[in-house]
Amino acid sequence: MADDDPDQFIDSDDVDLPSTSSGSSRRRLAFKQPHPVLRDRPPFAPPVIMGMSLPDVDATPPDSTSNGSLIDNRPKLRKAWSYDEVCVFYEGMKIHGKDFDTIVRYMAKRKIEKSREHVKTFFFNSVKAYRALLGLAEDEFNNVQRDARELFILINACEWKRKTGNMKANAEKMKELLFEGQVTVKAGRKYVTVRTPPCPALCRYFSIKKSDKIPHDLYIHLEPTSNGDHLFMRNRDQNPFLRVRLNANDRIQKLLEFLHKKWSSTGDTSAVSVTLWPDSSCELASLSVHSVESSPFISVSINKLIKNIEEVKEKSEATKKLETGGLKMAVEANTTSTSIPLQTFIYPRPFNLTDTVINEGITMKNIKSSIIAELYCVCGRKNPIKLRYQIESEQPPRVPPVEPWKVMCGLLGRGYGDILKKKMSM
């Protein structure tokens, strides 16, 4: 029977507990050291699985592809343009204006890679910032195109940066530079003059008055006015017909001095006065002379552009009145004759050869500082210039010769006859 088994009564300490896999007693398990805690793993980290590697947390996730990889949703931060990049952009803008595609290619040649959107965004953001800084109103830009306004603002700002080394501009000084074309500011310990650069991007908005082309070398044909002048030249063994080549900028006084020296006799001390007249074949015209600056873009400004726009507008309105048969516009001509045709001429310097000088004849006294180019314009702009000369010999007054019979009468009147009679009778 089972109750009579001797092994039925066994000490409880010697019985193995079912909760343990080893043969240790409960007393030993109670005083056993605990397992070490894994502190390197974050509290919410997923369990480590053998044979698998987790992706790097700090690594940049790849871009989205067609294979269904991860997508980067973080915002992209744009880098601020460096000083060298702004300078290259500025040089390209001065040449090409708002042609952003050409500016991008220009910057690429200088080893600066920018997209069209980068350049366009930088341009308009800069214009917006400087316009807000200066507080510019629409009334200050009278009839000025929007593109011209933006280019004037940003080009002046970049020139300020280049000259002073500081992008922070004084609003009052900046407006003076914008509207007047130049300003003097203090940069560090010295004063710097900042000028609006006369670049192609700004000059294209001006209507340039180009002076009419004049040949570099001009030929002058000289012929005698009358038979007396022809005979005078023959008596002095000179050719009555002369051909002279002069530079267009030479003074007419130089021609007269040459003729005086050439036609004066070597043995005669008398001076020769030469007067020049345009030949009858010259088409004399009443000139409406418009003077222009030799360098019209020494100073470029908004005020100068506004003035230029107004002049062009007035000129177009006056032209319309003439076409419709209205009153003629008053012009400054070099003659008052109404029968002579009117010609408009643009000359790059003051015009001194007037109708009064032509009517009196060109001499050393009235020629002043006129040059050969003015004579070319007055004589119909034809090369060679045909002129007629008139010569007057300024000889000293000659003492009339005394005839012998007058000498004899004078001696008899003073009693020389009676004295001779007495001496002969002795």
Please measure the distance between the N-terminal and C-terminal CA atoms of the chain and give it in whole angstroms. Answer: 234
Question: For position 212, what pLDDT does the model report?
Answer: 58
- At 5 the pLDDT is 46
Helix (H) or strand (E) holding 191: strand 190-195
The residue type of 376 is: Y
pLDDT along the chain (426 residues), means of 10: 44 45 64 60 46 43 47 60 88 92 93 91 91 83 86 91 78 89 86 89 77 78 88 85 88 88 67 82 62 56 86 73 42 38 53 76 84 82 86 65 76 78 75
Residues 6 or more apart whose CB falls under 8 angstroms from that of 255 comprise 220, 244, 246, 276, 372
pLDDT at residue 49, as a whole number: 42
Q: What is the pLDDT of residue 285?
A: 59
pLDDT recorded at residue 233: 85
Q: What is the pLDDT of residues 223-276, one digit of tens each?
A: 998 888 888 888 888 888 989 998 888 888 888 888 888 887 655 556 678 888
Question: Which tokens hold the place of 1?
Answer: 């029977």
Q: Would you list the DSSP string of 270-323?
A: -EEEEEEEE-TTS---EEEEEE--SSTTSS--HHHHHHHHHHHHHHHHHHHHHH
Q: 218: which strand partners?
A: 246
Question: How high is the pLDDT of residue 349?
Answer: 59
Please state, in angstroms and as integers, the Cα–Cα distance from residue 100 to each residue in 105, 107, 121, 162, 204, following that order: 9, 10, 10, 21, 17
pLDDT of residue 298: 60
DSSP assignment string, 70-90:
----SPPPPPPPPHHHHHHHH
| Closest C-alpha to 181, from 152, 216, 201, 148 | 152
367 and 253 Cβ atoms separated by less than 8 Å: yes
Residue ranges covered by each domain of the chain: 83-203, 206-293+306-398
Look at the chain and count its residues: 426
- What is the side-by-side strand order in the sheet with 217-224? 242-247, 217-224, 385-394, 271-278
